[in-house]
Structure 1
Amino acid sequence: MGATATLSEAGLVAEPGEETTCSVTIRNAGQVVDQFAVDVVGDASGWATAEPATVNLLPGETGTVTVRFAPPRSSDVPAGTIPFGVRVFSSEDPAGSVVEEGTVQLGAFTEVTAEIVPAKVEAGSKADFEVAVDNRGNRPVAVELSPLDPEDELEFRLERERTDLAPGTAAFVRMRARPRKRFLRGQPVRHRFHVFVTADGGEPIKTEGTMVQRQLLPKWLLPALAALLVLLLALVTLWFTVLRPAVKSAAREAAQEQNQEIVKAAQDAGAGADQAKKNADQAKQNSEQAMKAVGLTPPGETTGGGTANDGTNPSRPNAAAAGTPTDFRVAADANIDANVNRFAEFPYTMPDPKKTLVITDLILQNPRGDTGTLRLLRDSGGTKSVLLEVGLSNFRDLDHHWLQAWRFQPGEKIVLAVSCQNPGDRGRCTPSVSFSGRVE
C-alpha cells in the first residue's frame, strides 16, 4: 500500500472572487522512501492548487499539504455544490495512489448590464431600438424592463417586459418609440429617454437612448415642387408666346399652298379626262383584237397569293431563372490572441463548386459581447481580399443589405476571420455570420 490521505474538511464554503483552503494529511504506508504528487481533480480543478505539489516521506511518516480554492467571479463557474477530489499519487507504488473526495459550496452573485442599441435613431414617426441585457453573474436571473420618458413626449412598445437569463447569456428585447406629436416641417427635436432594467427585485439599472425626431416632409420635396412649378410656367409661356403662333402661321401657309395645287390639278385632270377615256377605250379594243387574232382569250384580272405560313409561331424563350434561394451560417470559435494582426480563419465552401454564389443579405451576431476584430474575406485560389471588417465590441446584432450583391464565382470561398482580444476570464470569441442569397 503506497499512501493514505485525510482531508481536514470534506465540505467547504467559498465565495466567487475569494479564497478558501483546507489541508490534506498524507501518510507513507509503504516500506520505502516515497515521493507523493498532490493535485485536485474534478470540476474545481481549474481554480484549485496544492501547496506544495509534491512531498517526500519516509516509511510511516506523515506530511500536510494545503489545498487552496480560488473560484473566479465569473459566469463560467455556476453557483451551487461543486464536487472535487484530492489525488495523492505515489511514484514508488502507483497502484497505491489514493483520491479523497469533498465538495465546495460556491456562493451566488448577480451582475447584470444593459445598453440600448443603437443609442440614437433619427426618424420622423417611429424609431426602433433593441435593449441588450447581459447576465454576467453565476446564477439565473429574471429581469424586468421599464422604459421612461422624463418629458412624457414618447410612447413605447416593448416586445416583452420580462425575460429570463441563464448565466453568461444575453437577451435582445426590441422596443419601438413613437412621438406623441408630429410635425410636417421644422427643426429636428431630441427626445432623451431611459430604460430601467431590474433583476430579481434588485436595484434598477438605468440605460439611456435618444430619438431625434425629424419633420415628416422630406427636405428636398418643397424645393423640387418649386422647381417643377417654375418649369411648367416657363413651358406654358413659351407655348402661348412663341410656339403656338408659329404653328398656326405655318399651318395656314401650308393649307393655302395645298389648296392652290389641288385646284390646278383638278383643272388639268378635268381637261384631259375626256381624252384619256377615249385613248383607254381604243387601247382596250386593240388589245382584245390582237389576242383573238392569235387564238387567245383576253385575260381577266385575277387576285391571289398569300403569305407563306409554315404553321409555326415561335415564342420568345423565357428569361433565365433567377437562381435557387439559399441561406447558411458560419460560426467562429477563436482562441484569445494578444496579437491584433493575427486572425483565426473559418472558411465556408460551396456544396456545388460549379455554381455561382450571390450574397444579398447578412447578419453579424456577437451575443456574448466579445472584444476583437471580425473580417469577411474572399478566397480566390489562395488569394484573399477583405470584403468587410468590423470591431466586435461595436455590435451585438447587425444587419447588412446590398443593392449590388456580392458574387462568388465557382471555386471561390467565403472566409470568416476573427482576432480575439477577450480578457482572460471571458474565454474564447464566438461570433457568427448568417448569409442569405441565391445559387446560380
Structure 2
Amino acid sequence: MEAAGSYGAPMSLTVSLDASSVTAVPGEETSLPLQVRNSGTTVEEYRFEVAGACAAWTTVEPATLSLYPGSAETVQVTFRPPRDPSVPAGETPFGVRVVPTSDHAEPVVPEGRVTVAPFTEVTAELVPRGSHGVLRGAHKVAVDNRGNAPLTVALTARSGTERAGITFTRPELRVEPGRAAFAELRVKPAKRLWRGTPVLHTFQAVVAPPAPEGEEPPAPVVLDGSYQQEAILPRWLPRALILAFVLALILTGFWYGMLRPAVKSAAREAITPEVIASATSGPDQSGGQTGGQTGGGSGGASATPTPAPTPTPTASVKPSAKPSVKPSAKATAKPLPPAEPSSAQVQVRDGVGGGSRSGTALTVPAGKTFRLTDILVQNPQGDAGTVVITGDGGSRILTLALENFRDSDYHFVTPILVPAGGQVTMTVDCRKVGRPVNAPAPSRCAQSLFLGGTMQSTKS
C-alpha cells in the first residue's frame, strides 16, 4: 500500500482509496471513493469485485469502467449494512478487486476497513401477564436483543399497591445480539389471605437498556402485570363441612331409627323358650331329687312303724313332679319367626282448592303385624296446608301444619301396632304452594312420608 492508499501493476493500472477506513451506520448508506488510473498504452476495461465479510451489503458503482490510456476516473464503493443482528457491530476488513478485461494485465486489490456502528433495539414480554396462587406469583420477563451488539439491561419493578412486594431474581440481564434471555420475577403479598374474596395485586416490570456513548438513553420497556392472591381456605370448604355434618346427622338418625331397633329386636328374639326352659329346668330337677332322697331317708329312719309317715313321701313327690311337667310343655311350643326390619314411603301431590288428596304408604300383608317406630315427613317446597297421617282403621297418628316445618321426624319407644290388612296413609290438604329458592315455581304442593319399623309374623 502506498502512502496515499494506491495500488498498481507495472506499466498498466493504478488504484487508490480516498481513505483506508470508513464507518457505516446500519440501515444507512456510506460511500468511499476509489480512483482508478489506466497507466497502459491501450484502452482498458475494468470490472470490480468486493471481497470480505461485507461483500453481501457492499457494491461498486459503476460495476465496470473503461479508460483510455493515461486517463483516470473515480468509482464509489457503497456500504449498506442492514439494521438487524446479522451484521455485528465492529471493524471488518474488506478489499475491492479491480480486474482488467485484457489477458495480459493482472488484477489489483486495494484493501481497507469498514466499522459497523452499533445500534440498540430491545423488546420485552411478561410471561404470563396474569398469575394466581395462595402464597406467591411467578412470572418471567423475556428480553429480546434485536440490536447488533451485546446488551446489558437493568431490571426493576414497581408495585401498584403497598400490599405486595415485587422482586427480580437478578438486577441485570446480559443478552447477545439476535438472542433472547429470561429473568424470573416474583410477587409476594405482604399478608396471607386465609378466607374471603381473592385480592388482585397490579405491578409493572421495567426493562431499561443502557445509553450509547454520547447519546440519550433509549426509552425503557414497561410491562404491566397482575397477581391474584387466592384464599388459603377455599370457598367450598365451609359447604363441604356443612355437608359432612348433615351426612353425619343422617347416618346417626338412620342408626337410631333403623339399625339399632333391629339389633335390639334380634337380641330379644335370641331369648327363645328353649333357652328359658333349659335355664329353669336344672334347679327344679335337682330339687326334686333331693326331696325324694330326703323323704326316703326319713321313712327308713322311723323306729316305730305307724301310718303317719305315709303322707310324707307323697308331700315330697308332688312339688318335684310339677316343675318336671311344665318346662316340658313349654319346650314343645314353637317360637314365632323373628321380626324383619321394614320401611315404606309415599309422595302425595295436591293442588290448591278441590279438597285433599291421600296416598297409602304401607298395607300390612295377611299374617303379619307392622310395628311402626319411625316417621319422617318432608315438605321440601315450603308449602302451606295440613298433613294427616293415619294408621289402622283411620286412627290419627300425626296432624301437622305444613308451614311449620321442612323436615320433621318422630321416633316411638313403644311401637305403634298396625295389624294385618291395616294401612298407613298420608292425607294432604294444600292451601298455598311454596316456591323453592332458585327454582321454577311448582304448580302443586308436594309432601313425602317415610316409615320405618319391623314386620312381625303372627303365625307360629
Q: TM-score range by the shorter chain?
A: 0.5 to 0.7
TM-score, length basis structure 2: 0.53
- 1:399-410 mapped onto 2 (5 Å cutoff): none
- Provide the secondary structure at the position in 2 that maps to 1:17: coil
Which residue identity does 2:233 align to in structure 1?
A: L
State the Cα deviation string for residues 264-296 of structure 1 (Å, max 9, x = none).
Answer: 9999xxxxxxxxxxxxxxxxxxxxxxxxxxxxx
State the Cα deviation string for residues 353-402 of structure 1 (Å, max 9, x = none).
Answer: xxxxxxxxxxxxxxxxxxxxxxxxxxxxxxxxxxxxxxxxxxxxxxxxxx
1:88 has 2:98 as partner: yes
CA shift at 1:164, angstroms? 2.4
Which residue identity does 1:213 align to in structure 2?
A: Q
Which residue identity does 2:82 align to in structure 1?
A: P
> Could you say if the C-alpha distance between residues 261 and 168 of structure 1 is closer, same or farther in structure 2, counting changes exceeding 3 Å?
farther
**1:237 aligns to what?**
253
CA shift at 1:5, angstroms? 2.1
Given that residues 23 and 64 in structure 1 are in contact (C-alpha distance below 8 angstroms), is that contact kept between their aligned partners in structure 2? yes
Which residue identity does 1:128 align to in structure 2?
A: A
- 1:69-80 mapped onto 2 (5 Å cutoff): 69-80=79-90
- 1:12-411 mapped onto 2 (5 Å cutoff): 12-29=22-39, 33-93=43-103, 96-200=106-210, 202=217, 203-256=219-272, 259=275
CA shift at 1:157, angstroms? 3.4
Counterparts of 1:31 and 1:266, CA distance in 2 = 158
> Could you say if the C-alpha distance between residues 148 and 262 of structure 1 is closer, same or farther in structure 2, counting changes exceeding 3 Å?
farther
CA shift at 1:135, angstroms? 2.2
CA shift at 1:178, angstroms? 1.0
Q: How many residues align?
A: 268
Identical columns (%): 41
Given that residues 160 and 201 in structure 2 are in contact (C-alpha distance below 8 angstroms), is that contact kept between their aligned partners in structure 1? no
Given that residues 193 and 229 in structure 2 are in contact (C-alpha distance below 8 angstroms), is that contact kept between their aligned partners in structure 1? no
Unaligned runs of 5+ in 1: 268-440
> Could you say if the C-alpha distance between residues 4 and 237 of structure 1 is closer, same or farther in structure 2, counting changes exceeding 3 Å?
same
Counterparts of 1:100 and 1:266, CA distance in 2 = 139
**1:296 aligns to what?**
none
> Could you say if the C-alpha distance between residues 259 and 42 of structure 1 is closer, same or farther in structure 2, counting changes exceeding 3 Å?
same
Counterparts of 2:55 and 2:48, CA distance in 1 = 12
- Provide the secondary structure at the position in 1 that maps to 2:109: strand
Stretch moving more, 238-247 or 155-164: 155-164
- Provide the secondary structure at the position in 1 that maps to 2:194: coil
**2:339 aligns to what?**
none
Counterparts of 1:261 and 1:78, CA distance in 2 = 113
Given that residues 48 and 98 in structure 2 are in contact (C-alpha distance below 8 angstroms), is that contact kept between their aligned partners in structure 1? yes
**1:298 aligns to what?**
none
Counterparts of 1:218 and 1:261, CA distance in 2 = 65
Counterparts of 2:221 and 2:198, CA distance in 1 = 29
- Provide the secondary structure at the position in 1 that maps to 2:87: coil
Counterparts of 1:247 and 1:186, CA distance in 2 = 47
Which residue identity does 1:37 align to in structure 2?
A: R
State the Cα deviation string for residues 271-329 of structure 1 (Å, max 9, x = none).
Answer: xxxxxxxxxxxxxxxxxxxxxxxxxxxxxxxxxxxxxxxxxxxxxxxxxxxxxxxxxxx
Counterparts of 1:29 and 1:265, CA distance in 2 = 154
Counterparts of 2:277 and 2:45, CA distance in 1 = 134
CA shift at 1:158, angstroms? 2.1
Counterparts of 2:49 and 2:245, CA distance in 1 = 88
Counterparts of 2:149 and 2:141, CA distance in 1 = 21
**2:360 aligns to what?**
none
Given that residues 115 and 208 in structure 1 are in contact (C-alpha distance below 8 angstroms), is that contact kept between their aligned partners in structure 2? no
Given that residues 51 and 66 in structure 1 are in contact (C-alpha distance below 8 angstroms), is that contact kept between their aligned partners in structure 2? yes
CA shift at 1:133, angstroms? 1.6
> Could you say if the C-alpha distance between residues 27 and 253 of structure 1 is closer, same or farther in structure 2, counting changes exceeding 3 Å?
same
CA shift at 1:61, angstroms? 4.5
CA shift at 1:130, angstroms? 0.8
Counterparts of 1:64 and 1:42, CA distance in 2 = 21
Stretch moving more, 119-128 or 103-112: 103-112
- Higher alpha-carbon Rg: 2
Counterparts of 1:44 and 1:132, CA distance in 2 = 31
> Could you say if the C-alpha distance between residues 236 and 95 of structure 1 is closer, same or farther in structure 2, counting changes exceeding 3 Å?
farther
CA shift at 1:195, angstroms? 1.5
CA shift at 1:21, angstroms? 0.5
1:4 has 2:4 as partner: no
Unaligned runs of 5+ in 2: 1-8, 212-216, 284-460
Counterparts of 1:168 and 1:262, CA distance in 2 = 103
- Provide the secondary structure at the position in 2 that maps to 1:44: helix
> Could you say if the C-alpha distance between residues 114 and 235 of structure 1 is closer, same or farther in structure 2, counting changes exceeding 3 Å?
same
Counterparts of 1:121 and 1:66, CA distance in 2 = 58
Which residue identity does 2:103 align to in structure 1?
A: D
Which residue identity does 1:80 align to in structure 2?
A: G
Which residue identity does 1:165 align to in structure 2?
A: V
Stretch moving more, 206-215 or 251-260: 251-260
- Provide the secondary structure at the position in 1 that maps to 2:178: coil
CA shift at 1:29, angstroms? 4.8
Stretch moving more, 99-108 or 250-259: 250-259
> Could you say if the C-alpha distance between residues 94 and 143 of structure 1 is closer, same or farther in structure 2, counting changes exceeding 3 Å?
farther
Given that residues 3 and 88 in structure 1 are in contact (C-alpha distance below 8 angstroms), is that contact kept between their aligned partners in structure 2? no
State the Cα deviation string for residues 327-372 of structure 1 (Å, max 9, x = none).
Answer: xxxxxxxxxxxxxxxxxxxxxxxxxxxxxxxxxxxxxxxxxxxxxx
CA shift at 1:116, angstroms? 1.5
Counterparts of 2:278 and 2:19, CA distance in 1 = 130
State the Cα deviation string for residues 88-110 of structure 1 (Å, max 9, x = none).
Answer: 12333387112111112222222
- Provide the secondary structure at the position in 2 that maps to 1:238: helix
Given that residues 81 and 105 in structure 1 are in contact (C-alpha distance below 8 angstroms), is that contact kept between their aligned partners in structure 2? yes
